[in-house]
Structure 1
C-alpha cells in the first residue's frame, strides 16, 4: 500500500498572490513563506537568454506599452494555435527587456500585489538558480530536522513554437543548467505541456524528474503540430492505458485542479489512484483562495476577489493523495499541509 507523505508546496510563479509574478520579490517571499519548491515559466529572448515569464507575450505583466521606443514591436502572432496580440519576448534582446518593470497580472483581483507594480524587473533563469544556491535555500530543513533544500520546478513553455523560430528551449536550457552546475541536481524537476521536449532534454543528458502537464480538455501542442486532428487527446492520456504508457517516459503528471475536484467541490481521487498504481507521481495546479478560482459550491458572498471556502477545497485536494500542489499563496497551503495526516 502506497503511503503518501504530505505533498510538496510549490510556489506558483513565486509567491505570486502577494507580489507580481516571477519577480525577485515573489521568489524571495516564497522562500520565507515555507515553499518546498519554486515554479518558474521559461521563455527566450531574441538573443537566446532564458527569462522567467508566464508567457512570451508580456504586455499584461510589464510596462512595455509605456515605452515609446518599443511601440513598433507590438504585433499579432499565432502561438500554439491561438492568435495573440502584444509584445513578445523573442522580439527583444535581453538588454532591452532588462529595462522593463514588472506588473501584477490581475490588478483588480489582487490590489495588494498591484501596489508593488514597478518595483521589480524581469528575472533570468540564471538569477533564480543563483537564489536557490544561496544558504537560505540550500540550508532549508524539514520539520524533522532533515535536509530539505528548496527545489526548482521549471516549466518549459511553447517549446514547439520556439523551436520553429530557431530558439530551441531544450538546448538553451540544457546549456544553462550545465553552466550553473544544475544538470543532475537532485533539486531539479522539469515540466511541460509538451512531452516531446521532456524527451529531448533527457536525450541531452539533463537529469532531474520529468513531469508532464495535462489540461482537462484538448490535446498537447506538440502532438497537434505532428499529428493534426489525429493527435492523442489529454483525456486519452489519463486513461489507465494512457497512464501506463506515460509511466515509461516520465516520472509524474501535473493535472488541472478541476480533474481532482468537481464544480460542486467534491474530491475525485480516482486519477491519483490510477497514476500511483503505475508509479507516476501526481501534482495539481493551481490552488487559489479567491472566489473566482474556487469550485462554484465553495464560493462565499462578495465579489470575485473575496476569499471563499478555500480551506475546504484545498483540504479535499490534499486528501486525494497528490504528491505536490501549485499555489499562488504558498503560506496558506503550508498551513494546511503541515496539519494534514499522511494519506495511505
Structure 2
C-alpha cells in the first residue's frame, strides 16, 4: 500500500506524494449538481471558443463514481483507453492527473517521473536524471525534460506487477486537451454527461521551474465554457497553497486532498474558505479492523458545507482491509452507508456494481 502522509505534510511545499491519489448518471432532462452545501439545479452549458459540447448538465446521483486514473485496474493508467473503458463501465467522472512537458503542455501522468508507467527508459536512456521534488530526491525520467513531440513517441505500460500487462506498449501519453475532447465525445455518444476531475501534481515544484500548471488548466477549462460552479469538473490538489490561489481565479469546484490525520471542525471550516470539498483516504472514515468504529468526519465535513470524496478503492486482496472479508463490494457499500459524496476507484465497474447501478 502506498504511504499516507501526515495531514500537515501537504502545504505549499511538502514531501512527494506517492498516494493513489484517485454511478452511473441518471438519464433525465433535469439533473442537479451536488455543491458544497446542497444540490442545486444545473444550468444550460454556454459554449466556449472551442465549440459547443453536449455536456450541458452534470451527474446528480450520489455518490458519484470517479474513475481513478481511468479504469486503471483494467488498462494502463492515464490512457485514453482507460478513460473510455471507465465511462463504458458507468463512471461519472474520469480523473487525469496533470503534469507539464518542457514546452508547457499539460499531459496526463500520475507523476512527472514516468519511468514506471512508460517505455521511456528504452527510448531515452540518456535522459535519466536525479531531482529534488517537494523534499524528496527522485531518480528517473521526468516529463519536464521532454517536449510534447518527444513524449508522443512513448507508450504507456502497467505500473503494478500483479495487474495485467497485456496492453503494455499500445497507448500514447494523452494531453489534457485530448482528455477533455474524449469526455465530450463519450458524453455525446452515450447521451449523458461525462465529468472530468483533474489533479494538479506538484504545483509548487512546477511553478518553481517556470512551468506553472494552473494557467494552462484554467485556459483549457474556460475554452470549453467550464468556468462556472455547475460545470462537470472538480479541480483537486494535495497543496492548499495552489487551491487558495485558484479560488479567486475560477468558479469550478475545488477539492482539497488529504491522506491522513484528524480534521477538527475548525480545520474543516478553514478548508471551506477555499475549497468545496475534501478528498480523503478511506481509512480516515473507518479503520481496517472489523471492529472499527466510523469517525465523525463525513458528518463534520457536511456541517462545514464540504463534500466528501473518498479514495482510492481497489479490488485486489492486497489493498482490501480485512474488515471486508475479501469482498470489494462490501467496501463500496460501507462508503455509501457512511454518506460520502464521491468514490474514487481503480475498478469503476466494481464501484457501480456495489452501488447497485447499471453502467
Verify same fold: TM over 0.5. yes
| Pair 1:40-2:96 in alignment | yes
Residues 315-324 or 57-66, more deviating:
315-324
Deviation for aligned residue 1:109: 1.5
Task: Give 1:14's aligned residue.
Answer: 70
Deviation for aligned residue 1:84: 1.1
Task: Give 1:137's aligned residue.
Answer: 187
Cα distance between partner residues in 2 of 1:182 and 1:95: 28
Which of 244, 247, 250 matches 1:199? 244
Task: Give 1:248's aligned residue.
Answer: 273
* Unmatched segments (≥5 aa) in structure 2: 1-36, 40-59
The answer (yes or no) to whether the contact 2:247–2:275 under 8 Å persists in 1 is: no
- Sort the Cα spacing of 1:162 and 1:16 in 2 relative to 1 into closer, same or farther, 3 A: same
* Unmatched segments (≥5 aa) in structure 1: 142-147, 218-234, 300-307
| Pair 1:109-2:170 in alignment | no
Task: Give 1:315's aligned residue.
Answer: 333
Aligned residues: 300
Residues 119-128 or 243-252, more deviating:
243-252
Listed one character per residue, the Cα deviations across residues 32-91 of structure 1 (whole Å, up to 9, x for unaligned) are 111011111000001000000000000000000111xx2221011121111111000001
> Where does 1:91-110 land on structure 2 (aligned, <5 Å)?
91-106=145-160, 108-110=161-163
Which of 181, 190, 208 matches 2:235? 190
Deviation for aligned residue 1:332: 0.7
Deviation for aligned residue 1:201: 2.3
Cα distance between partner residues in 1 of 2:277 and 2:175: 26
Cα distance between partner residues in 1 of 2:153 and 2:357: 43
Deviation for aligned residue 1:244: 1.3
Give the secondary-structure state (helix, strand or coil) at the position aligned to 1:123: coil
Q: TM-score, normalized by length of structure 1?
A: 0.82
Give the secondary-structure state (helix, strand or coil) at the position aligned to 1:13: coil
More helix by share: 1
Cα distance between partner residues in 1 of 2:247 and 2:156: 33
| Pair 1:262-2:287 in alignment | yes
| Pair 1:157-2:208 in alignment | no
Residues 193-202 or 162-171, more deviating:
193-202
Which of 289, 294, 300 matches 1:274? 300
> Where does 1:292-303 land on structure 2 (aligned, <5 Å)?
292-298=318-324
Cα distance between partner residues in 2 of 1:335 and 1:298: 16
Higher relative contact order (CA 8 A, sep 6+): 2
Deviation for aligned residue 1:269: 4.5
- Sort the Cα spacing of 1:269 and 1:140 in 2 relative to 1 into closer, same or farther, 3 A: farther
Deviation for aligned residue 1:22: 0.5
Q: TM-score, normalized by length of structure 2?
A: 0.79
CA RMSD of aligned residues (A): 2.1
The answer (yes or no) to whether the contact 2:66–2:348 under 8 Å persists in 1 is: yes
Residues 21-30 or 178-187, more deviating:
178-187
